[in-house]
A and B are shown apart, each in its own frame.
Chain A
Amino acid sequence: QVQLQESGPGLVKPSETLSLTCTVSGDSISSSYWNWIRQPPGKGLEWIGYISDSGSTNYNPSLRGRVTISLDTSKNQFSLKLTSVTAADAAVYYCARAQSTRLNFYFDYWGQGTLVTVSS
């Protein structure tokens, strides 16, 4: 059974960097696509970006320039860094595994989510 678990600070100051880690068990991180998705309180889901098993990345254009996703295969983890955060970045952050085919890209396993608050 694949399991994902987010970890990291629940409180970040404005203008600082949000850093989260996702630990994967039950699957090797050396396959599939590894994603970050967020959900502001009371709002919908927003895809942040992914890193593939080969290390290639793809980010939401609205966040490009502020976001970096990296892979640590030795720990079976992947991480998110989001710089210059504002109140608009406050959300529940999910990590998720995705599968990609020519016609479909879907998130088949999700972490439980971690709430990040932005406040001084």
Chain B
Amino acid sequence: SSELTQDPAVSVALGQTVRITCQGASLKNYYASWYQQKPRQAPVLVIYGRNNRPSGIPDRFSGSSSGNTGSLTITGAQAEDEADYYCNSRDSSGNNLVFGGGTKLTVL
């Protein structure tokens, strides 16, 4: 089992807002980063740090953190946002890296 816990599946209506969460003790001390993975493709970084987007990532993607939970919010979800989303952070020791189990996002 992973030190970071994600809901296995989430759905959102087209154009609505969805929040994907990542829980873990280490998130009290470290930020979560978020990755989007579409079928048969490599993951793509969408959020890192407090709330930073790499170049080319739409501004409908945002990140936040509270206590032991990191969140990825998509405001106005689009059909192309349908994908698996993974969080990652350091583990509780701070020495190793861990991924959440992933959340499959369906856009209805």
Contacts and interface: CB of A to CB of B under 8 A. Distances in A.
A104 B33 contact: yes
A110 B108 CA distance: 29
Interface string B72-108: 0000000000000010111000011111111000000
Contacts of A112: 42
Given A45-B102, A110-B42, A112-B42, A103 B31 contact: yes
Interface string A43-64: 0111100100000001011000
Contacts of A58: 95-96
A105 B89 CA distance: 6
Contacts of A104: 30-31, 33, 48-49, 89
Interface string A93-120: 0100001010111111011110000000
A44 B103 CA distance: 10
The A interface, classified by DSSP as helix, strand, loop or mixed, is strand
A61 B44 CA distance: 25
A103 B32 CA distance: 9
Contacts of B97: 35, 47, 50, 60, 105
Interface of A: 35, 44-47, 50, 58, 60-61, 94, 99, 101, 103-108, 110-113
26 contacts: A44-B86, A44-B100, A44-B102, A45-B102, A46-B99, A47-B96, A47-B98, A47-B99, A50-B97, A58-B95, A58-B96, A60-B97, A94-B42, A94-B43, A99-B48, A103-B30, A104-B33, A104-B49, A105-B30, A105-B88, A105-B89, A107-B33, A107-B43, A107-B45, A108-B45, A111-B42
